[in-house]
């Protein structure tokens, strides 16, 4: 994780401000920074998205490839996650510095998507026990400016929304041999439903209060954080505590209630932006990396 060194006076200033519901950048405790979302930014993927949240910059690409279903789930496809922490993001990622964080983020994403409701995995099955779609989700951390998990979950949801999977048909000849026919029409695709894909809301405990979307400076003042994955309906699907400090049960309950409130608003805003961008079609202006 990226770290920033703060003096004791700076920490006191931040902590006292949070107790008064006033953060250094003028936000309240439950306010997000401005989130920039752009989809379809990488041409050779099935779906992609780039998210900028303050100084945090995330790129996600999704590649759909045909494979064999898992033995324990013969009539479902599945997702594979890989997280690459670019050394350009922060000096701490040089060498193998980013590997542990990459594994931690990937494991958190597996936990979030390891249920039947997040993504309809049965729609990814082509022929039970024989063929299915595997979605390889690659996450690249371009810059770290605090609140990594939230930004990554937003980017993954946006990239899955943008993913188009070619429509296939299974043909069987007289001898019972199966053949897979891919549609010639590039627009004849399956679009995944991301309605139930959760987003992560990270709450950092600072003093007696908690804040959402913490900056690096605020993270340096926090000893314990709670990662809560919330659906658009405000349902908590998974929770994880990070940091060396402890959280009392009352704080955990308050943080969960905050995450439900904030998560619903986050989902509503994200869905409206994604649908608006999709409605523009090929006419929309692409900003990309040079914008």
**What is the CATH number for 228?**
3.30.230.70
The answer to whether residue 70 sits within a structural domain is: yes
Total structural domains within the chain: 1
- Is residue 286 one of the residues assigned to a domain? no
- Residue 289, domain member (yes or no): no
pLDDT, position 186: 72
Is residue 98 very low, low, confident or very high in pLDDT (cuts 50, 70, 90)?
confident
Q: How far is CA 7 from CA 2, 145, 201, 217, in A?
A: 17, 19, 28, 10
pLDDT in tens, 215-272: 989 989 998 999 999 999 999 999 999 989 899 999 999 999 999 999 999 999 999 9
Q: Is the pLDDT of residue 73 over 70?
A: yes
Q: Are 143 and 56 in contact (CB under 8 A)?
A: yes
Asked if 229 and 153 count as a contact pair (C-beta separation under 8 A), the reply is yes
As given in the structure block, the two tokens for residue 110 are 């597996």
Report the DSSP beta bridge partners of residue 48.
Answer: 61
Confidence of residue 282 (pLDDT cuts 50, 70, 90): low
285 within some domain: no
Q: So what's the pLDDT on residue 43?
A: 85
In a domain, 55, yes or no: yes
pLDDT, one tens digit per residue, over 108-136 is: 999 998 877 889 989 898 888 988 999 99
Inside any domain, residue 287: no
Residue 97: pLDDT over 80: no
Q: Answer whether residue 270 is part of any domain.
A: yes
The angle formed by the CA atoms of residues 66, 232 and 149, to the nearest 5 degrees, is: 70
Could you tell me if residue 288 is inside a domain? no
Closest CA to 255 of 227, 231, 222, 232: 227
User: What is the extent of the structural domain holding 81?
Assistant: 8-280
Under 8 Å between Cβ of 135 and 164: no
Check residues 171 and 31 and name the one with the higher pLDDT: 31
- Exposure b/e, 179-211, CB count within 10 A at least 16 = b: eeeeeeeeeeeeebebebbbbbbbbbbbeebbb
């Amino acid at each position: 994780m990226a770290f920033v060194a703060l003096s004791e006076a700076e920490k006191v200033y931040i902590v006292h401000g949070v107790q008064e519901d006033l953060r250094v950048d003028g936000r309240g405790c439950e306010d997000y920074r401005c989130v920039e979302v752009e989809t379809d930014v990488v041409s050779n993927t099935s779906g992609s998205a780039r998210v900028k949240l303050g100084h945090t910059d995330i790129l996600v690409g999704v590649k759909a490839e045909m494979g064999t279903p898992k033995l324990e789930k013969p009539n479902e496809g599945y997702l594979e996650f890989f997280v690459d922490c670019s050394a350009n993001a922060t000096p701490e990622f040089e060498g193998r510095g980013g590997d542990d964080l990459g594994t931690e983020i990937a494991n958190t994403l597996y936990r979030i998507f390891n249920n039947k409701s997040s993504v309809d995995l049965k729609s990814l099955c082509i022929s039970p026990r024989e063929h299915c779609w595997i979605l390889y989700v690659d996450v690249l951390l371009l810059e770290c400016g605090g609140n990594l998990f939230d930004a990554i979950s937003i980017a993954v949801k946006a990239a899955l929304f943008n993913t188009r999977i070619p429509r296939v048909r299974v043909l069987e000849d007289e001898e019972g041999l199966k053949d897979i026919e891919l549609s010639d029409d590039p627009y004849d695709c399956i679009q995944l439903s991301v309605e139930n894909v959760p987003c992560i809301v990270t709450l950092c405990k600072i003093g007696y209060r908690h804040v959402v979307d913490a900056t690096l400076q605020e993270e340096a003042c926090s000893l314990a954080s709670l990662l809560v994955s919330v659906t658009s309906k405000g349902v908590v699907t998974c929770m994880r505590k990070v940091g060396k400090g402890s959280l009392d049960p009352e704080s955990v309950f308050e943080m969960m209630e905050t995450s439900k409130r904030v998560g619903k608003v986050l989902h509503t805003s994200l869905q409206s932006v994604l649908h608006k961008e999709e409605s523009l079609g090929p006419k929309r202006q692409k900003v990309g990396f040079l914008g």
